[in-house]
Structures are given as structure tokens and as C-alpha cells.
């Protein structure tokens, strides 16, 4: 199994607590957040990761090198910001298999990747999003599905209960081949929210542990919770 990890973010909202590191390298219990993602991938049977890096990419490369506990690592480096869509498009050029998982480097979502793969292949999907059911939130948009197929993305607002995009995807390697996409674009706003009616996007609901360290309060929460879940 091959995985693309989006690790090129600036971490603007974390600058007050992590001023000089790429967001995926933010320390959680004295370990870079990205190591928890790799521990998860190891347990899921992943053998190859493509790190899509940008801001201070050399920090990530010098720490992880070419492998992590049996997972080989390749790098797709953005020398100028490409947006999440441009980053995925560039990294897909390094993928060998017909499908690849895509993860956000600042989010931990304990999704069963083999079950996600079976779901994706069963529906012959172009793209499958992992969804997390949450209650009383206003930080995330909502993904609506019908018979598991994505039918609408709703803007951020207060929602008593709904399914959010958990930031773990399975995509076909040729996802962008049917249309000329620019080098720079947003995967979420320019692709997901505009192309779901033209391509087959499906939503896979998982009840696995989820945390997004994008804001200081959840970053602090991760300090206590992640080490309990994924200890070496």
C-alpha cells in the first residue's frame, strides 16, 4: 500500500506555540506529530510513503530520511506553494499502484485502510473520503451522502450532528487525467466541492480516533491523547 502524506503546510494558526517548524513536525509528547502517523501506517501494513513537503522541507527530510521502521519514504517537494490539489497532483506522479491513500499531515484519523480499500473497490469509486461523525461543532463543513455516494458539501456552520471530512482519502492514480488541472489549486474547494457530481465520490464512515492539531487547543489535547493511543 502506498500513501501520500501532505506535509507542506505553514501551520499559521499554530505559530503561537510552534513558531519555527512545519506543522507536521510540531512536538507531541516530545515526538514530531508525523511519527504518530507513521506508527499508524506501520500497523496498517503500509510499505511506502510519499511525503509531500514544502515549508522547511529539509527539517522533515533530515529527521525521517529514506525510511521509517520498514516504510520506504520518497519526497515530492513544493518549492513554491501549490495548494493541496497541486501537491496531490504532483505526488501522484510518484505513485506506482493504481490507487494511493492520501493523508493530511496535521490530522490523525485511525481509519482501517484495508476496509477503506475494499469499500473503494466495491463501489468502483474515483475517490473515497473517510468521514467522521461528530456532534455540536462549527469548525468543519459537513459531507452529505446518499447510499454512501457524496451528494453535497456544506459550508462550516454550527451543526448538532454530522459527518465531516476526516482528511484520509483513497484516490485513483489517474484521478486528474480526464481534465487539465493547473499546477496550483485547492483539493477541497476547487476539486472535491466542484467535481463530486461529475466523478464517483463515496464516503466511508469510520468511528476511529480523530484529532486535528491545526489550532492550539487541539494541539494541547493531542499532547495527552495521542501517546496513550500510539505508544512505541
The domain segmentation of the chain, as residue ranges, is 2-225
Output the pLDDT for position 13: 56
Question: What SS3 state is found at 60?
Answer: helix
Spacing of C-alpha 37 from chain mean position: 10
Output the pLDDT for position 225: 92
Q: Is the pLDDT of residue 11 over 70?
A: no
**Span 163-189, pLDDT tens digits:** 999 999 999 999 998 678 898 999 999
153-158 average pLDDT score: 92
List all residues 6 or more positions away from 205 whose beta carbon is below 8 Å from its beta carbon: 130, 131, 132, 133, 163
Q: Decide: 183 and 84 in contact? Cβ < 8 Å.
A: no
Output the pLDDT for position 15: 57
Output the pLDDT for position 196: 84
**Span 46-88, pLDDT tens digits:** 999 999 998 889 999 999 999 999 999 999 999 999 999 999 9
- Domain boundaries 2-225, corresponding CATH code: 3.90.550.10
**Span 87-129, pLDDT tens digits:** 999 999 999 999 999 999 999 999 999 999 999 999 999 999 9
Specify the residue for cell string 507542506. Answer: 8
Amino acid at each position: 500500500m502506498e500513501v501520500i502524506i501532505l506535509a507542506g503546510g505553514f501551520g499559521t494558526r499554530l505559530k503561537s506555540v510552534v513558531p519555527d517548524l512545519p506543522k507536521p513536525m510540531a512536538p507531541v509528547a516530545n515526538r514530531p506529530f508525523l511519527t504518530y502517523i507513521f506508527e499508524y501506517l506501520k500497523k496498517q501494513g503500509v510499505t511506502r510513503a510519499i511525503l509531500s513537503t514544502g515549508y522547511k522541507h529539509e527539517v522533515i527530510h533530515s529527521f525521517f530520511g529514506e525510511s521509517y521502521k520498514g516504510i520506504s519514504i520518497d519526497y515530492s517537494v513544493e518549492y513554491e506553494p501549490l495548494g493541496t490539489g497541486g501537491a496531490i497532483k504532483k505526488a501522484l506522479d510518484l505513485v506506482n499502484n493504481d490507487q494511493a491513500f492520501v493523508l493530511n499531515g496535521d490530522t490523525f484519523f485511525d481509519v482501517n485502510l484495508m476496509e477503506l480499500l475494499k469499500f473503494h473497490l466495491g463501489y468502483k469509486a474515483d475517490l473515497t473520503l473517510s468521514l467522521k461523525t461528530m456532534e455540536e461543532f462549527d469548525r468543519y463543513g459537513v459531507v452529505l451522502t446518499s447510499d454512501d455516494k457524496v451528494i453535497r458539501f456544506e459550508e462550516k456552520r454550527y451543526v448538532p450532528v454530522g459527518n465531516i471530512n476526516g482528511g484520509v482519502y483513497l484516490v485513483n492514480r489517474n484521478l486528474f487525467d480526464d481534465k487539465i488541472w493547473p499546477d496550483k489549486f485547492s483539493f477541497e474547494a476547487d476539486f472535491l466541492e466542484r467535481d463530486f457530481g461529475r466523478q464517483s465520490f463515496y464516503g466511508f464512515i469510520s468511528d476511529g480516533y480523530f484529532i486535528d492539531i491545526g489550532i492550539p487547543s487541539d494541539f494541547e489535547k493531542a499532547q495527552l491523547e495521542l501517546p496513550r493511543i500510539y505508544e512505541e
